[in-house]
Structure 1
């Protein structure tokens, strides 16, 4: 009985990152589709008639709409909403020292290229503090960089 629960827990733990990767893969494919549709529109303008251009522009519009819908779904994903730490908000500055509870693994989101921030270097980690994103030295808790209201756009 215990092994069934363990197996179910391991499967569930492996599925969550796979779902997140599937969403990012879908957005990547949408961007690729938009690039291909733009290329098709340019070719239709050069070599086609009005009907071809109209059809290609319609397909480009549909690809952009699909991308917007997928991005909206990604933003509405419950893993990225309603984040609240068990302590009150404090505005940190570069050079501040965090207590270890502030940069515990629960508050360390995995790096994502869509955030628009570089990967954390050696012994550095990103920490979410309410809507702020902090780059912290994991050894001593010193704040290296602060991105204020970085997660505010997810509302």
Structure 2
């Protein structure tokens, strides 16, 4: 009896680690599965009855949840990638709002985010750069110094 309890506790601690997404490939497979489920939903809406549509919607909802969980697990397991680099500035943290004007020291090339795909940020427009300010990410117009977009707490 005691062995079964120990084995049960051991299995309970091991299973969540196995189920979490550790690779980008697993996240991509989940996204592909979501697209397939959405295609099935469109087919059900076109040619199926109410029950088919209801089942397809449930499948899409479950697939979306799976994608969210896989991305969360991937980010959690690759957290050090986001923390890499010296993002601490020689100035204090300031909470910036959209429309604020920054001095050039706040958005110089040292704080640029060059690989926007890694952070899953949209591509910046002309004369705009993504800048990391402590744990926040700011989209700044580098010609005027104006803040266009703010994502607070983006980097843990």
Query: TM-score, with normalisation over the residues of structure 1?
Result: 0.53
Asked if 1:129 is matched to 2:141, the reply is no
Aligned length, in residue pairs:
124
Give the aligned partner of residue 112 of structure 2: 108
Give the aligned partner of residue 94 of structure 2: 90
Seen in structure 2, the aligned counterparts of structure 1 residues 26 and 147 have a Cα distance that, compared at 3 Å, is farther
Query: TM-score, with normalisation over the residues of structure 2?
Result: 0.53
Aligned equivalents of 2:41 and 2:83: distance in 1? 38
Structure 2 unmatched ranges of 5 or more: 1-22
Q: CA RMSD in A?
A: 3.9
Equivalences for residues 1-155 of structure 1 within 5 A: 23=24, 27=27, 30-44=30-44, 46-47=47-48, 50=51, 56=56, 59-76=59-76, 77-78=78-79, 79-81=81-83, 84-87=87-90, 88-91=92-95, 94-99=100-105, 102-105=107-110, 107-109=111-113, 110-112=115-117, 114-115=120-121, 117-122=122-127, 124-130=128-134, 131-137=136-142, 142-148=144-150, 150-153=151-154, 155=156
**1:119 Cα deviation from its structure 2 partner:** 1.7
8 A Cα contact 1:127 1:136, kept in partner: no
Seen in structure 2, the aligned counterparts of structure 1 residues 103 and 26 have a Cα distance that, compared at 3 Å, is farther
8 A Cα contact 1:132 1:146, kept in partner: no
Aligned equivalents of 1:48 and 1:134: distance in 2? 47
Seen in structure 2, the aligned counterparts of structure 1 residues 73 and 103 have a Cα distance that, compared at 3 Å, is farther
8 A Cα contact 1:126 1:135, kept in partner: yes
3-state DSSP class of the match of 2:33?
helix
